[in-house]
Amino acid sequence: MRIVMAYFPKTDPEKLLEMAKAVSGKLESSGHRVDIVNARLDKDARLMTYDYVIALAESSGLSGKIPEYAAGFLAQAGSLAGKRSAALVRASGFQSAKALSRLMKVMEAEGMWVNDSALVKSADEAAAVATGLPLVKA
Domains of the chain: 2-130 (3.40.50.360)
pLDDT in tens, 86-138: 999 998 877 899 999 999 999 999 999 999 999 999 999 999 999 999 887 65
**The predicted structure's pLDDT at residue 105:** 97
Please indicate whether residue 36 or residue 95 has the higher confidence score (pLDDT): 36
Is residue 63's pLDDT more than 90? Answer: no
pLDDT (mean) for 42-66:
89
- In DSSP terms, 2 is beta-bridged to 33
**The predicted structure's pLDDT at residue 121:** 93
**The predicted structure's pLDDT at residue 1:** 93
pTM of the shown model: 0.93
Asked whether 36 and 47 are in contact (CB, 8 A), the reply is no
Using alpha carbons, select from 17, 10, 14, 32 the residue that is nearest to residue 130. 32
Categorize the per-residue pLDDT at 61 as very low, low, confident or very high, splitting at 50, 70 and 90.
Answer: low
